[in-house]
Amino acid sequence: MIHSFLMIGQSNMAGRGSIEDVPRIDNPHLKMLRNGRWQRMLFPVNPDRVFSGVSLAESFADAYQRDHGVDVGLIPCADGGTQMDQWKAGGLLFDHAVFQTQLALRTSSLAGVLWHQGESDSLPGLAEAYRDKLDPSSWAGWGIFSGNRSANGPIINW
């Protein structure tokens, strides 16, 4: 079964690195969710903007696949320029991420969440509350962890 990872956060997770500046990852065991189906990974994985590029997710998926010997699927839902509060339950970004994850769970097991967020929440008055907002226990209402073999799986915070 595919081990899937939900990609959420802002631009650094969506991918702003230049595709030409990194070694090409050509691993047939790496997949991305497109239109509810797994497809072989191609760049950019998370095309939230016309200038999208590479992120940490591609190299993470490649390393995870080589370490665990399984197919790895990326669920791209990151959106550049967003603030953490925009990811609250019931919001568009939240609902989109949950819906995409539920589609992925039909044919995969959620192994973790890759979260990369920062600049929009680093302003004075916002940074202090960041840790509390990132607490995984506040994500219980997502409905993507229950009934999944990885219910207590890792939250991978880079």
Q: How many CB atoms lie within 10 A of CB 155?
A: 12
User: What whole-number distance in Å separates Cα of residue 101 and Cα of residue 36?
Assistant: 9
- Closest by Cα among 104, 129, 131, 102 to 115: 131
59-115 pLDDT tens trace: 999 999 999 999 999 999 999 999 888 888 889 999 999 999 999 999 999 999 998
pLDDT at position 157 is 36
User: What whole-number distance in Å separates Cα of residue 45 and Cα of residue 155?
Assistant: 20
Host H or E run for residue 104: helix 92-104
Q: Are strands 2-9 and 72-76 parallel, antiparallel or unpaired?
A: parallel
At 125, is the pLDDT very low, low, confident or very high (cuts 50, 70, 90)? confident
Tell me the chain's radius of gyration from C-alpha atoms: 15
Domains of the chain and CATH, by start: 8-72+88-157 (3.40.50.1110)
